[in-house]
Amino acid sequence: MFTGLVQATGTLQRRGEYEVIVSYQQQGAKIATGMELGDSISVDGVCLTVSQIMSHGFVAAVSPETLNRTILGYQLGDRPVNLEPSLRVGSKLGGHFVTGHVDGIGILQSAVATATSWEMRFRAKGDRISRYIVPKGSIAINGISLTIADCDERGEAFMVAVIPVTYAETNLQVLQPGDPVNLEGDLLGKYVEKFMRVNPASSGDDEAIALPVPELSISPSFLAEHGYL
pLDDT of residue 33: 82
pLDDT of residue 227: 66
**Is there a contact between 51 and 60 (Cβ–Cβ < 8 Å)?**
yes
Residue 134 contacts by C-beta under 8 Å, 6 or more apart in sequence?
Answer: 148, 151, 155, 189
Tell which residue, 64, 71, 58, 65, has the closest CA to residue 20.
Answer: 58
- Give me the CATH code for the 8-85 domain, please: 2.40.30.20
- Give me the CATH code for the 104-189 domain, please: 2.40.30.20
pLDDT of residue 119: 97
| Structure confidence by residue, pLDDT tens digits, 57-109 | 999 999 998 988 899 877 666 789 999 999 887 777 778 889 999 999 999 99
Q: Give pLDDT < 50 ranges for the chain.
A: 208-209, 211
Strands 138-141 and 19-24: unpaired
pLDDT of residue 128: 87
138: β partners:
147
Q: How far apart are CA 141 and CA 105, in angstroms?
A: 9
Q: Give CATH 2.40.30.20 domain extents, the chain.
A: 8-85, 104-189
Q: How far apart are CA 170 and CA 200, in angstroms?
A: 43
pLDDT of residue 189: 82
Tell which residue, 209, 190, 192, has the closest CA to residue 201.
Answer: 209
pLDDT of residue 211: 47
pLDDT of residue 147: 96
